[in-house]
Each structure stands twice: as C-alpha cells, then as structure tokens.
Structure 1
C-alpha cells in the first residue's frame, strides 16, 4: 500500500474520452490516446489494500487486484504485468470490454467511488506489450497429447493457450474466416481495435497453437471424425443462437438481428466490404434491447450516419445509486450507466423521442408495419409496468427503416450439426450439458464458455477457458498444475 491515505486524498479519475464530435467521425477507440498513463499511478494509490478484498470474489478470474495496484503505484510495471497475467490470459481484452464487477465489489465503493480497477488493468496490459513483458511462452517439452478446441472466442483462446503452454499440441477450429469469435465480428472497432486481438493471436502462434479458420465443425469437418483424431475436444462455440421477437410484421425486410448487422460493419473495417449492405446511413433506426449489444448497434449506427437512432429497453430506468435492499454491496448493481455510445447519442440528439440518451425505458414492441414493397417503416410500442403489463393509453409509433433485434442469446447454434453428430446431451435451456469436471456425456469431449454456461461476461468466458484447460490436462495426464478459477456451477454473487 504505497499511499495509506490515497483513497482519502485522491478523487477518482477515469480515462477521459475523446470529444463526441471527433470520435463519431472515425472508428478508433473512444478514449484519448496517452491520457491514461499520467493519471494511473495516483489512481492505483486509491486502493486500500483492505484485509478482505472483495474485488477478488467479484471477479471470477480471481485477479490479484490489490497486489498489482500497489505495484502500479510504485511504477513497477514488470512485476505488475506478472501478477496480472498470473490470473488473466488477456487483460487487454477485459480492460476494454468487461463491465468491471470487480469495481462493484471494491470495499471503497461502500461509500465512495470505487478504485478505477479496469483502467489500471488496461494500463498494465498496454505497458506489458510496450515494454516487452509479454513474450511467447512455448512449453519446454511436448506431452504427445493432442487437443481440438472448437471456437476462437475468449473461452477457446484461453483454453488453447493454457493447454499449449502445458505441452499439449492444440488446434483451434474457427468457422469464420478470421479468429476471435464475437471479439472479431461482434465488438465494434471503437470499443476494441482489432490489432489488440491480432498481437495476442500472433503470440499464441509463436507458442505453438495451431489455427484452422473457415472450418465449421459439423459441416466442413465431421464432429465424430474430429473426435477420433484428437485425444480430447473442447467445445467453446459460444452462445450464438439469438432470441427472436415474435410480433406481427417481424417478416418485413429491414427487421434484422443485431448479429447480422454488427459483423457486416466490422467487415467494412476489415476491408472486406466498401459499404455494409445493412448500413444505417440516412435511415431511421430502432434498436430493440437495452443491453451491451444494443449499445454496440447504437454506436455503430451513429458512425454510419443514421437519420435517427432510438434504443428500446423493456426495463424501467434504474436509479443512479445502488439499491442497498435489493442489490447490496458487493453485488453488481443495476444502476443507470452512460456508455460511450449513449453519451454520443445524447449529445447528438439522435433520438428525438427519447428524453436524454437515445433510450426509451419500460417500452415493449407491439408490431411492425411496412410499405407496399414489404419493407419496415414503423415500430409500434407501448409502455409497460414493472410486471411488463401494457399501460393503457401509452401506445406510440416510431419511424423505423432499420430495426435491430438485440435480445440476447439462448445457447449454441445447432445449424452446423455439431451437437447431433457427437450425440451431446443438452440442458432444457439450450446449453450443452456437462458434469462438475466440465465433461460432456461423450468421453473426451468437454464444454466451456457460453455454449455451456449460457450468455455471460468476457471475464467468465476467460475463467471458463482456464478452468476447462485444467480439466482437460487432468484427463490427459492424470493430474494438473493449471489453475482452475471457477467450477461449472459457479455463478456471480447475488442476494
């Protein structure tokens, strides 16, 4: 604890964002380049080094947060990077994409703004790359065992890196033409520029991990055949089966799933397309769904030049402070948060129908109506109460030439035949069934990440990858020294 009074003398200061008018004209990350390093050591000084650090429990990775906060406050970047990477394979991803449940569990957050843990994390990660503290770590010797990992999202990549470093020969199979899963084609560039992903993949290649892109297991290569070729298989395909909205007019052209829209915008940034065929340019856009995917659609539509963008959230607008009775510290509270995309939409007034930041809360979609050519032109909604019952007299209509459904995901996509070809047992909610050791009903086949847990956060995805790697290593060798931060039945802290 470098400064015992830091939490009393230093106010919280977040990584500043670039001006809205500047950043919406490009696709670069929203934060001011170089503005984090000058403030981060004093921010790390705010860590209280409390006797029972609940930030550990709030993070499924078990990140050693007080330790690397202390090291950052002393500007010992090498040791800080070592402590950070001891529990997290990809802190440059989580430092940008995780909603930071660790900060909700910070002891300081009981009555003050929490330590900027997420900002410290990304600062350490970037310094590690800048100063050469993240060299490839190939194994000293090979085990002679082989593992196929299906899916290259954060779970698959974490599992592959851990197993490769343990000495196993690992091949990652990815159905898309590029690696990264939703980090590649689901996360917009303004949230995480893809060069962060590329350099980590190059590190993994140098360590010995093999990658097979444009290969859908179950379609391009038989799942049963793959099982016979490897000593173990890890299913880390994610939860990509999107939820539908069954209302009249759903069949109209222009009513699209968010994960049909976002990948095309990302492909424009990759240089595959000059213009997205679903571009929001000049259109009135309505996003149905109040989560992070909806916010990603919002920021993307703004940058594409939409005529207007409105986001519908079926839940009532939360308050600005934690409800201590319903969501006491250190649980992650549902409070009003202003993402970069919402800040942009609010300042630019992209949604005339909304009060502030483009969101209409407590709003439920009734139907869509279209023109003579079968294209959507309007969305009809109604306000709802806390039980989601329509409130009489609150129906209204929004212009809508592009509607994006961002309603979450129910489990892995069954379209490629993977589940059927392997004969996997499934849970009633649509996820892959597994036991306490991450093993499925098929010998040698393991399941991890959103495919088995259900839709979750990136920190849980990486934790699952690390934990399933330990289970596979134990299966192959009889024991394992790989860390297993969580079990398959662990869940976030709740009341």
Structure 2
C-alpha cells in the first residue's frame, strides 16, 4: 500500500531540468538534462494518493495501472514496476516523453495540488528496466498457422504487431520508408525523441519474430488486393497523412511547404541521409502557420538550423493558465504549456489568421493591404510565380456567438523566406486502397470501422489515425493493442489479448494537436 500521508509530506512537484537553451540549440540531442532515476524520484512517487477511484486510469486510454506502478517506484521495486507497466503499454519510453499526459490532468491530487508525476514515473521505470536488463524479447511459446500483414510502422502498427506476434501469429510489417517508426521516426525531432529508443524496440520485436519490410509501398510495390490474398488478415495503420492546406491567394509561390515535408528532411539529415525535399531554414525568416505540437517542432527545428527569425501564427487565442469552467476536472483541459522549443526563441502571434502570401512584387511601402467583399486579400495576380517574401495576416476575435471575425485595420505583412504549414491533417491517403481493395470511408474521409476495428472488407482491419483521425500517440498504442485483440478473435473466435478501448470510444476531451 502507498504512503497514506505521502501527498501531505511532499506538496510540491519536482520537475526534471532541461539543458540550457543556448546549449541545446547547437545540437540535436535530447533537450533534457535529467532523465531516469533522480534523488527525488521516490518521494515524488509517494505523492500518489492511491485513490479509491483512480481517475488517472480513466484519463489514460491504455488503462495503465498507475497507482500500482507509482507505489512500486516509491519502493524502488523496478522489475515489478516494469512488469506492471508493460502489461498495458508496449512503448512507455515514447508516451513518457511525448504524451500530453491526460492521466495527470485527471489525477485526483491535481484538484488542489500539482498532479502526481505519472509521465516521469513511466520514463524512469522503462529506463531502469533497460539499464538492468529487464526488457527482454518475449517470443511466443507456440506458433499458429495464421498470417497478418500490417501496413504502417507508427505506434499503432507496431503495438498491433507486437501483440499479435506474441500471440503466435506470423506478422509482417510493411513500411514505405527506409526505416521503421512512422512519424516517430521522421516527424518528431530527435531532440524530443531520440531514435535509438525506436531502434532498440525494433530489435526486441525482431527477436520475438516480427518481420519488417521497409522501402515497400503498398498500393505501388504490392497491390492492396494482392496483399490481402497473401495473408489471412490485413491491418491498415497508415496514419492520417493528407495535410490540411491553407488555400489562400499566393499559395503557389515557392518556399511554402507542409510541416511534414520539412520535419522529415531534418530528421533524415540527423541520420546521415539525403533529404527528400531539400528544405532548410538556415539564414531564413521563417513563418509557421499553426501553433500546436507540430508547429512547436518546426520552431525548434528551424532555430537549430540557424533561422534568422521564427514567427508562429496561431488562429486561436492563447490558452489559459488555469482550468476554465467549461473544461472541468477530470477532463483534459487545454491549458497553456510552454514547450522546450518555445523556451529557445521565436515569436508566437495569437488570434492571427492567414489571408494570403506575398510574392516578390507585392510588398508596398507600408506593408498593408485591403480586404475585398469576400474577406480575401486584394491585389494578388492569379498565376503569379516566384518566391514567397511575406505572409498576409489579420487579427481575429470571436463574436458573441463564438464565430471568429476579422478585425478591420489589423491587416499586415510578416516577412518570410520560408513558410511552414502546420495546421493538422484531414484523413489518410486512401487513393490506392480504394482503387485496389475498396473499403468504406466515414464522413471525414477516414477508413470506416466497426466496434472491433473491422472494415467493410472481410479480414481487413484499421487502427490508429487511419481510422480515428489525427490523435495522440497514447491513443494510437491503445488502438493497436485493441486491434490486435480483434484480429486474434477473428482467427480463433475468442482471445486473451487485452482490448483497452473500442473503436467507437472517444477521449473525455481531445487535446488540440
């Protein structure tokens, strides 16, 4: 049992320190100065109240048994803590670093004190487990004659693959890129998620029997219907790859790119590979459209590349620092959190809408422009070519009904040599899938599925962002685990694999991406 007075003895939350900003922007290494076990780790874990109703577990889609592993951390029982954590989470080193921790916002202690450090405990447990050799391959005791193809090697695909491999099925993961990991590999910068964390998990999975096929694009190198004919089941875990565009005048100018063209280039350079798009922020004035996590990643990356300035535009107002009344505990509240990239420099402009891009011949003396009756910027010549030199913006504020309205007289131009669009994703890229193995889509363009992740095609399942829509890594892992349970049940009529969520389950409140 946990210390019943732990939260009374230790009332403050001790955050791990980061490396000085001036030091870390000169490299691509982990931003954290402290990770893993610290002198204060056990006493911080003792703050867990061991609630009769642990709402933290409700906030976590994986159903992590948080009070149990917190108490094991308090006692320094690392192997037992690892066993308890790994029962529900395949990749705690990932969630411990990049998950926004809905579990902590649901922590009962958080009603009147800073919440328990659940993320830090996860990260400490898994790092101690790797250090002491507790993380070992878990190959199945026997093999079945069932085969599964999983398309996509992001967190959903990898979690699904590991669960099905351990159940004894023959699993092959197909990845179109040259390395495994999906957006964990090519989307999230190395200073937030070191790629050796992915590599060591891939080695573990290979030792368990999972087979990986890289540089293989399903729909092009192998047709979807051919893949289905080869395997007893197919899992679609291709993510949500179609970006949301900013279709305003001047969009066809050079120097305007999606974030997921820019960030993979930077990650490829870090791994000694040639970039695909050749985008580099060095010596440029950068404007990032979109102020979520991906926009923050663009900011930190551009600073490290040597951008002369970085401005991040966010159409929404700055988040409140305290929980608002319309986002009550234990739901996930959209609160202001300064990311490590925001500590390193750059400027955020809130309540700012993009209404056009400026080319070489469009900047006038005062940098202002007029809006026509449709609210779009006047003066842009259709078909104009050249390189972007600025972003036309205007302030927006909600009216009494909550609808954003542009504020007259606030029009201005922000200088830019490089514009990065980071406004989220619409849906998965399903063109070849629909042509070769037609599945039904939902109203948002995602692959439609039933309660058990089944699509309209027999033996074809979908998990992660491809079916849910753009979401969080913790939801992707939960979906991968649940989808594995559904596939195993499809084979055997029953399953012992855990299913933490149903395909129709939604979070209490989804954080902004």
Q: 2:427 touches 2:470 (CA, 8 Å); kept in 1? A: yes
1:171 is matched with: 172
- The structure 2 residue matched to 1:405, chosen from 412, 421, 438, is 421
1:480 is matched with: 495
Q: 2:148 touches 2:231 (CA, 8 Å); kept in 1? A: yes
Deviation, 1:4, is 2.2
Which secondary structure state, in structure 2, belongs to the residue aligned with residue 37 of structure 1?
Answer: coil
1:333 is matched with: 333
Deviation, 1:35, is 6.9
Which secondary structure state, in structure 2, belongs to the residue aligned with residue 419 of structure 1?
Answer: helix
- Say whether residues 1:147 and 2:148 are aligned partners: yes
- The structure 2 residue matched to 1:365, chosen from 347, 354, 366, is 354
CA distance in 1, matches of 2:500, 2:462: 16
Q: 2:2 touches 2:48 (CA, 8 Å); kept in 1? A: no
1:367-406 paired onto structure 2 within 5 Å: 367-371=356-360, 374-386=386-398, 387-406=403-422
**Would the alpha carbon gap of residues 275 and 143 (structure 1) be closer, same or farther in structure 2, given more than 3 Å must change?**
closer
Number of residue pairs matched? Answer: 482
Deviation, 1:274, is 8.3
The Cα offsets for residues 146-197 of structure 1, whole Å up to 9 and x where unpaired, read as: 0000000000000000000000000000011110000000000000100000
The Cα offsets for residues 440-467 of structure 1, whole Å up to 9 and x where unpaired, read as: 1111000111000000000000000000
1:315-326 paired onto structure 2 within 5 Å: 315-323=316-324, 325-326=325-326
**Would the alpha carbon gap of residues 275 and 412 (structure 1) be closer, same or farther in structure 2, given more than 3 Å must change?**
closer
**Would the alpha carbon gap of residues 230 and 342 (structure 1) be closer, same or farther in structure 2, given more than 3 Å must change?**
same
Q: 2:257 touches 2:421 (CA, 8 Å); kept in 1? A: yes
1:354 is matched with: none
Q: Which runs of 5+ in 2 are unaligned?
A: 362-384
Q: 1:319 touches 1:336 (CA, 8 Å); kept in 2? A: yes
Which shifted more, 59-68 or 26-35?
A: 26-35
**Would the alpha carbon gap of residues 33 and 494 (structure 1) be closer, same or farther in structure 2, given more than 3 Å must change?**
closer
Q: Which runs of 5+ in 1 are unaligned?
A: 351-357
CA distance in 1, matches of 2:509, 2:253: 40
Deviation, 1:33, is 4.0
- Provide the alpha-carbon RMSD of the alignment: 1.4
CA distance in 1, matches of 2:68, 2:222: 46
Which secondary structure state, in structure 1, belongs to the residue aligned with residue 344 of structure 2?
Answer: helix
- The structure 1 residue matched to 2:477, chosen from 462, 470, 481, is 462
Q: 2:449 touches 2:467 (CA, 8 Å); kept in 1? A: yes
2:226 is matched with: 225
Q: 1:268 touches 1:275 (CA, 8 Å); kept in 2? A: no
Q: 1:55 touches 1:103 (CA, 8 Å); kept in 2? A: yes
Deviation, 1:431, is 0.1
CA distance in 1, matches of 2:277, 2:353: 28
CA distance in 2, matches of 1:463, 1:98: 13
1:104-143 paired onto structure 2 within 5 Å: 104-143=105-144
Report the TM-score, using the length of structure 2 for normalisation: 0.92
The Cα offsets for residues 316-358 of structure 1, whole Å up to 9 and x where unpaired, read as: 11211001x210000111111101011111xxxx3xxxxxxx2
- Say whether residues 1:437 and 2:452 are aligned partners: yes
The Cα offsets for residues 367-415 of structure 1, whole Å up to 9 and x where unpaired, read as: 1011167000011101101222101111121111000000101111135
Which secondary structure state, in structure 2, belongs to the residue aligned with residue 237 of structure 1?
Answer: coil
Which secondary structure state, in structure 1, belongs to the residue aligned with residue 405 of structure 2?
Answer: coil
Report the TM-score, using the length of structure 1 for normalisation: 0.95
Which secondary structure state, in structure 2, belongs to the residue aligned with residue 62 of structure 1?
Answer: coil
CA distance in 1, matches of 2:310, 2:318: 18
